[in-house]
Amino acid sequence: NAGVFTYDPGYTSTASCDSTITFIDGDKGELLHRGYPIDQLAGKSHYLEVCYLLLYGELPSPAQLEDFESRVTNHTMIHEQMHFLFRGFRRDAHPMAIMVGVVGALSAFYHDSTDISDPWQREVASIRMIAKMPTIAAMAYKYTIGQPFEYPRNNLDYASNFLRMCFAVPAEDYEVNPILSRAMDRIFTLHADHEQNASTSTVRLASSSGANPFACIAAGIACLWGPAHGGANQACLEMLREIGTPNRIPEFIARAKDKDDPFRLMGFGHRVYKNFDPRATVMKQSADEVLELLGIENNPTLQVAKELERQALADPYFAEKKLFPNVDFYSGIILEAMGFPTSMFTPIFAVSRTIGWISQWKEMIADPQLKIGRPRQLYKGETLRDYVDIEKR
């Protein structure tokens, strides 16, 4: 429930909203989606079933799941005219820049799901966003590597469809590796929703003005891109590559502890978790499994990550400040092993988090007491004073 809590510098703030979707206990390192622990969902469920749970509040019956998966599958293509949008970007554009632009433009193509006062249109917009994000992300990737777009296939599951759209080429047949598909689905599940993080709060604030859902999701993508948030998975892998070998780890830990050095350990720390991020625990297990199944368990980046984690957790600085690996610490290692460039790590986070943004948007829009978000401030500027003519200055 909306509560009031006081924190430095001595002013109070209120919780941003009520919600029934996701619960985090940062001290215990607990994450529940509609009451179900994330480790059980990651181990026993799959992404589209978690999407249903987040969106409608309950686990689906077999018939409900089949209907939901069919509705999502049959919305995975985007309007053919949208293909021309991609051609306006330079080939070296970051895929996140393309996604912000293309998703923001969806309302120009899907007029029949922009009126948020209509429950049917809200439902169609939700399904369209979940369905089209993997297609848009894969097209952004293909465009930046100069390969032709691959169309979605209705005979593939969500994760397999995404992998095929990213890695298939017309010149040869492509079979999705089930190990990679399962790992991809688990990464989607682990990033699905996370309470009122910066990008979800951005979507909620944008939506509170009545803006259409596609524009609000584009705002969330823009916010997620930041290296302190969803951009951390890309920054973390680049940091692990820069460290290169375990014997350079002390140098980077010293930099992270140096107040005068802006460097921070990417993939470490969290605004809420003051214990292990439960997603990071599952992600680490998944990294071990996937790399072993791929026969690259001695991957140097994974070895550096594990040694960095060991040394950081043994260091009093990190223990005192309660800094632990977060969801971004191991995800990049798996994505790199799948063949993705680091520039695709945050777009994959955006694909996954779309269900979280949409579920939180839907919850907020349905609130009859909804008012436009209007944060106040603590004014610390000049007090009242009269204008001085330029001749007298």
Minimum CB separation of residue 386 from ligand SDX in Å reads: 40
Burial letters for 49-69: b for 16+ Cβ neighbours within 10 Å, e otherwise? bbbbbbbeeeebeeeeeeebb
Q: Is 229 a catalytic residue?
A: no
Binding to ligand SDX by CB under 6 A, coded x per residue (else -) over 214-253, reads --------------xx--x---------------------
| Contact predicate 338/183, CB 8 Å | yes
Strands (DSSP E) along the chain, which ranges?
A: 4-7, 11-14, 22-25, 30-33, 36-37
Minimum Å gap between C-beta 246 and ligand SDX is 18
The correct pick among 25, 264, 297, 373 for binding ligand SDX (CB under 6 A) is 264
Q: Which of helix, strand or coil describes residue 4?
A: strand
Considering the complex, what minimum distance in angstroms separates the CB of residue 271 from ligand SDX? 5
Contact stretch for ligand SDX (CB under 6 A) within 51-59, 87-95, 240-248, 259-267: 259-267
Partners of 4 in the β-ladder: 14
Structure tokens at 253: 């830990």
Kindly state whether residue 265 participates in binding ligand SDX, applying the rule CB under 6 A: yes
Show the binding pattern over residues 328-367: x = contacts ligand SDX (CB under 6 A), - = does not: x---------------------------------------
Member of 286, 301, 326, 359 binding ligand SDX (CB under 6 A)? 326
Segment near ligand SDX (CB under 6 A); pick from 48-56, 105-113, 263-271, 286-294: 263-271
Binder of ligand SDX out of 28, 83, 248, 271 (CB under 6 A): 271
Smallest distance from ligand SDX to CB 267, Å: 5
Helices vs. strands in the chain: H and E counts, helices first: 17, 5
Note whether 55 and 62 are within 8 A (CB): no
Give the Cα separation of 131 and 162 in Å (integer): 10
A 10 A CB-CB count for 385 gives 6
Mask for 181-220, x = binds ligand SDX (CB under 6 A): -------------x--x-----------------------
The site that binds ligand SDX (CB under 6 A) totals a number of residues, namely 20
- Is the N-terminal amide bond of 152 cis, ω within 30° of 0? no
**Which has the closest alpha carbon to 264: 256, 272, 275?**
256
**Nearest residue to ligand SDX, using CB?**
269
d(CA 115, CA 326): 37
Least distance in Å: CB of 249 to ligand SDX? 13
- DSSP result, 237-288: HHHHHHH-SGGGHHHHHHHHH-TT-----TTB--SS-SS--HHHHHHHHHHH
Catalytic-labelled residue, pool 270, 367, 386, 389: 270
First to last CA, the chain: 53
Minimum CB–partner distance for residue 191 and ligand SDX (Å)? 6
Pairing of strands 30-33, 11-14: unpaired
Q: Using the rule CB under 6 A, which residue among 46, 122, 142, 270 binds ligand SDX?
A: 270
CB atoms near residue 391 (< 10 Å): 5
Output the smallest distance, CB 361 to ligand SDX, in A: 15
| Piece in contact with ligand SDX (CB under 6 A), picked from 1-9, 52-60, 94-102, 264-272 | 264-272
* CB nearer to ligand SDX: pick between 134 and 231: 231
Q: Which residue is listed with tokens 């990049």?
A: 332
Identity of the residue, 169 or 254, whose beta carbon is nearer to ligand SDX in the bound complex:
254
CB of 256 to ligand SDX, least distance (A): 4
Query: Among 163-171, 210-218, 326-334, 335-343, which window interacts with ligand SDX (CB under 6 A)?
Result: 326-334
Q: Is 288 a catalytic residue?
A: no
**Dihedral angle, C-alpha 214, 208, 273, 292, nearest 10 °:** -10
- Alpha carbon distance 240, 300 (integer Å): 9
Catalytic option among 328, 367, 386, 389:
328
Contacting ligand SDX (CB under 6 A), which of 327, 335, 348, 351? 327
- Which residues are annotated as catalytic? 270, 328
Residues forming contacts to ligand SDX in the complex (CB under 6 A) are 194, 197, 228-229, 232, 256, 264-272, 321, 323, 326-328
